[in-house]
Chain A
Amino acid sequence: MIRALCLLLAAALAMPALAQDKLPPAPYAYTQLADPAQEAKAHALMQTLRCLQCQGQSIADSDAPIAGDMRSQVRLRIQAGEDPEAIRAWLIERYGDYVSYKPELTGATWPLFAAPLVLVALAFALLRRRFGGKGA
């Protein structure tokens, strides 16, 4: 029984491999840039870009072919001297905010940034009401 289940699981895990292309990865999918400073810039950017196929991973972490192609494109653009934030903007223009992991303060996200401050202020006010007044 357990054996059968293991086999089934193995088969299910093997399935996505069928739906993969046979082309070699793009030039800079798995190759670092020669200039370490440029590579560091590219890597920092790649860690904050979402893989479009395996959406819980960044393109730096993902082995999906589409993530490899995106890494290659990022590295080539960095090599050509493009600014990392310009590349991010280019991708956001195409895929929306979802493609970027970098937290941005916008009209929709400000409550996330404000909530901790409000809670700290609230806790401070409560503690003062309870213990405050007479000094420590």
Chain B
Amino acid sequence: MNAPEAKPARWAMWLPLVLFAGFVALFLSGLLRPGEREVRSAMIGKPLPEFDLPAAVADRPGLARADMVGSKPRLLNIFASWCVPCAAEAPVLDQLRQAGVEVHGVAIRDKREDLDRFFARYGNPFARVGADNVSAVQFALGSSGVPESFVIDARGTIRYQHIGEIRPEQVPMILARLKEAGQ
């Protein structure tokens, strides 16, 4: 046999228990306070990708990248008639429109008659509405859901991404982001 090893200190006996308690605490913190699950776009500060979408409804033209560029910042809204929060957001977008913001929409996987019904019911705040039936523009923007809004500056750079609907109390914040993009 080897020479007897030094006896471990008494406190070492508690080490496994302390480790176990640590794991329990880690587990509980993860369980009670799950982390953020939103996937943020990595496109902020990069130029808006090239796209050209056909009109989604009869009374508004389609939307291309060129419509989003020049003279002032604009708001690009990713939405759908089948998305419940989008209905709540429509009047808020209209509020932004009345404040002088040019708001453009990209309708994700939507049907014309559903969109017509949606706009008749909740109002149409958009100057242009493009139809993105295969989520292509959504992927190009790094957007992962509906609704989402992007602030695009006059040179066509993506300046800010807002995930989820814009709530009424967030209107001043969005206006500030647009102003910031215009400087």
Contacts and interface: CB of A to CB of B under 8 A. Distances in A.
A and B pair up: yes
B111 A22 contact: yes
Interface in A92-123: 92-96, 98-99
Contacts of A19: 82-84
Contacts, number: 71
A77 B136 CA distance: 12
Contact of A94 (B41, B108, B114, B145): B41
Interface in B92-124: 108-111, 114
Q: Which secondary structure dominates where chain A touches chain B?
A: helix
B110 A23 contact: yes
Contacts of A26: 133-135
B110 A94 contact: no
Nearest to B114: A22
Majority SS of interface residues in chain B?
loop
Contact of B42 (A52, A65, A93): A93
23 contacts: A18-B84, A19-B82, A19-B84, A22-B82, A26-B134, A52-B144, A52-B145, A53-B145, A55-B39, A65-B135, A66-B138, A66-B144, A69-B109, A69-B134, A69-B136, A73-B135, A92-B42, A93-B43, A94-B142, A95-B39, A95-B41, A95-B42, A96-B42
